[in-house]
């Protein structure tokens, strides 16, 4: 791996890679390592990976970073995760694009999860782009999740810099007692565009879902947040979309919650606004320039 690739990897994956690892570089698997609890193999149709985590794994680690440094590479990857019963897993899935060329580079990844009974998954996804502004850097992740009875999944997803275009789709079905927590942070600047949509069906009794999305849109960038939560049983869902806009940034929040059961409790909150004047004034009274104050406030918000 060369210097540039190493740097790119660091941007999207800060774990120590002590467990199972599959590093994908410019369309091909570059390195693979299995562990006691985790087996990674090519899927039969050759379109991606199958990641198998055994039952009762005490603390399995999986790193599956994707790096793209060839300008003009357009790829679609299908990964399937099978998480065994009662296992605990931490998965790092970062995607970094360096595009210094003139052609567009696009990574579209579809990640399907079947999380077994009582299992707990933490899924950390970081997206990052760099390079000149001639070729687009585009990342389109689709995440489909099935949480079996009492399964838990926590997703942290961050897109801080350099991705010109992104369309994220997250779909989940929650069985009884299952819980899903999603923390999403997206910053767009320049002419970037980001769309993120969530579709969660809570079909089991006692399931719960929390989605917290924080967005910062600066310059002439645009973001759209769409959520659609359905509760078919006694369940709880809280969706919060909190956005800061600056310059000519635009944010749209489209909430939909639907209760098909009298015990379903569904909440949606959406806030969009510029940086509060009093926050700027406070930091300026501590000696920060207006621009510095804005940076600190936005960095904290997306922290």
Between 41 and 290, name the residue whose CB sits nearer to another protein: 290
With CA atoms as reference, report the closest residue to 177 among 209, 205, 140, 219: 205
Contact residue for another protein among 3, 16, 58, 278 (CB under 8 A): 278
Residues 6+ apart with CB under 8 A from 288: 296
- Contact between 160 and another protein by CB under 8 A: the answer reads no
Backbone angles phi, psi at 4, to 5 degrees: -60, -45
- Contact between 59 and another protein by CB under 8 A: the answer reads no
**Inter-residue contact 105 to 136 (CB < 8 Å):** yes
Beta-sheet pairing, 74-83 with 49-53? parallel
- Contact between 296 and another protein by CB under 8 A: the answer reads yes
Between 72 and 273, name the residue whose CB sits nearer to another protein: 273
> What is the footprint of another protein within residues 212-231 (CB under 8 A)?
214
CA 158/CA 7 separation, integer angstroms = 17
Contact residue for another protein among 6, 132, 281, 295 (CB under 8 A): 281
Contact residue for another protein among 1, 74, 284, 295 (CB under 8 A): 284
- Contact between 279 and another protein by CB under 8 A: the answer reads yes
- Give the three-state DSSP class for 35: coil
- Contact between 21 and another protein by CB under 8 A: the answer reads no
CA 72/CA 104 separation, integer angstroms = 5
- Contact between 282 and another protein by CB under 8 A: the answer reads yes
Residues 6+ apart with CB under 8 A from 227: 197, 198, 199, 200, 211, 239, 241, 254, 255, 256, 257, 268
Between 114 and 288, name the residue whose CB sits nearer to another protein: 288
Backbone angles phi, psi at 10, to 5 degrees: -60, -35
Q: Which residue has the tokens 């939909």?
A: 256
- Contact between 267 and another protein by CB under 8 A: the answer reads no
Q: Which stretch binds another protein (CB under 8 A): 37-45, 93-101, 176-184, 288-296?
A: 288-296
- Contact between 287 and another protein by CB under 8 A: the answer reads yes
| Distance, first Cα to last Cα, the chain | 30
- Report in angstroms how near the CB of residue 283 gets to another protein at its nearest: 6
- Report in angstroms how near the CB of residue 245 gets to another protein at its nearest: 15
**Nearest-10 crossing angle of helices 290-301, 277-284:** 120
Count of residues touching another protein (by CB under 8 A): 21
Between 258 and 282, name the residue whose CB sits nearer to another protein: 282
Contact residue for another protein among 59, 248, 289, 295 (CB under 8 A): 289
- Beta strands (DSSP E) in 162-221 are 165-174, 179-188, 193-202, 207-217
- Contact between 242 and another protein by CB under 8 A: the answer reads yes
CA 109/CA 163 separation, integer angstroms = 15
- Report in angstroms how near the CB of residue 260 gets to another protein at its nearest: 33
Contact residue for another protein among 23, 77, 93, 283 (CB under 8 A): 283
With CA atoms as reference, report the closest residue to 109 among 77, 82, 144: 77
Contact residue for another protein among 2, 45, 262, 303 (CB under 8 A): 303
- Report in angstroms how near the CB of residue 254 gets to another protein at its nearest: 22
Residues comprising the chain, all counted: 303
The structure tokens listed for 167 are: 């369309």
- Interface residues with another protein (CB under 8 A) are 214, 242, 276, 278-279, 281-290, 296-297, 300-303
């Amino acid at each position: 791996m060369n210097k540039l690739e190493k740097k790119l990897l660091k941007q999207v994956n800060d774990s120590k890679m002590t467990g199972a690892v599959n590093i994908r570089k410019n369309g091909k698997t570059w390195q693979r390592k299995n562990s006691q609890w985790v087996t990674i193999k090519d899927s039969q149709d050759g379109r991606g990976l199958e990641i198998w985590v055994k039952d009762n794994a005490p603390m399995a680690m999986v790193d599956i970073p994707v790096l793209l440094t060839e300008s003009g590479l357009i790829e679609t990857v299908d990964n399937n995760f099978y998480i065994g019963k009662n296992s605990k897993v931490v998965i790092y899935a970062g995607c970094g694009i360096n595009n210094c060329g003139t052609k567009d580079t696009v990574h579209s990844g579809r990640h399907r999860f079947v999380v077994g009974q009582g299992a707990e998954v933490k899924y950390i996804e970081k997206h990052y782009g760099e390079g000149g502004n001639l070729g687009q850097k585009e990342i389109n992740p689709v995440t489909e999740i099935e949480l079996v009875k009492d399964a838990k999944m926590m997703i942290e997803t961050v897109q801080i810099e350099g991705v010109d275009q992104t369309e994220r789709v997250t779909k989940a079905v929650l069985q009884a007692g299952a819980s899903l927590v999603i923390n999403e942070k997206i910053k767009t600047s320049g002419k970037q565009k980001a769309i993120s949509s969530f579709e969660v069906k809570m079909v089991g009794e006692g399931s719960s879902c929390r989605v917290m999305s924080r967005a910062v849109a600066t310059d002439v960038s645009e973001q759209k947040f769409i959520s659609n939560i359905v509760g078919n049983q006694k369940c709880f869902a809280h969706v919060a979309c909190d956005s800061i806009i600056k310059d000519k940034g635009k944010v749209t929040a489209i909430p939909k919650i639907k209760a098909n059961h009298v015990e379903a409790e569904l909440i949606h909150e959406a806030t969009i606004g510029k940086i509060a004047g009093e926050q700027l004034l406070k930091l300026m009274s501590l000696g920060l320039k207006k621009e510095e104050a804005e940076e600190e406030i936005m960095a904290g918000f997306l922290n």
